[in-house]
Structure 1
Amino acid sequence: VHRDGRPLLVLDVKWKRGAPLRPDDLYQVIAYATALGAGRAVLVYPGRRDRVWTYPLPQVPRAVEVRCLQVVGTRRACRRALERLAADVRAACRSH
């Protein structure tokens, strides 16, 4: 996600289970964020319900936000989950 040509956030969406969290997924999103100079890195996995947690990495100047996006249930419930994710991404971009 860019603003005024400046990278703010890298959002890496996976279509596989996020638990247990795989080191290669963390390394990949950190590499993307570092290469682009983005201040935030977010991993998104499919799941049964929305969840958000932060994965701190002491050796890296940024933490990785890990999200589970609800992809089961009614179409309406899944759409609401996607809308919440979009709203959170917009809010994160405004705070930078």
Structure 2
Amino acid sequence: MLNLYKIHRDPRVWPERFLTTHKDVDVRGQNFEFIPFGSGRRMCPGISMAVQVVGLTLASFLYAFNVQMPGDKAVDMEEAIGLTNIKATPLEVLITSRVPEHIYYE
């Protein structure tokens, strides 16, 4: 039987350096980094699950696809005026599968 706990905590494969950057963020309504989840007594009860699922979804996406800029141009980070922070120019990327296409159809 495999020891999955030990495999997933091998520091050579999964270093902990990136897990401590936001460990002190207060999600109980005092820190507005997580304002989409509301605050106070009516705060979203699924905040813990949502934060975990977003990370897992992003990791799964980056594992399955290569994301590249077309050509050698850099990302234009200029913002436009609006209700939310929007980019002045749309972000265009090339997304290609990391897995050969025939794997999906076998």
Fold in common (TM above 0.5)? no
Q: TM-score, normalization: structure 1? A: 0.31
Q: Which has the higher contact order (CA 8 A, sep 6+)?
A: 1
Q: What TM-score results when the alignment is normalised by the length of structure 2?
A: 0.29
More strand by percentage:
1
Structure with bigger gyration radius: 2
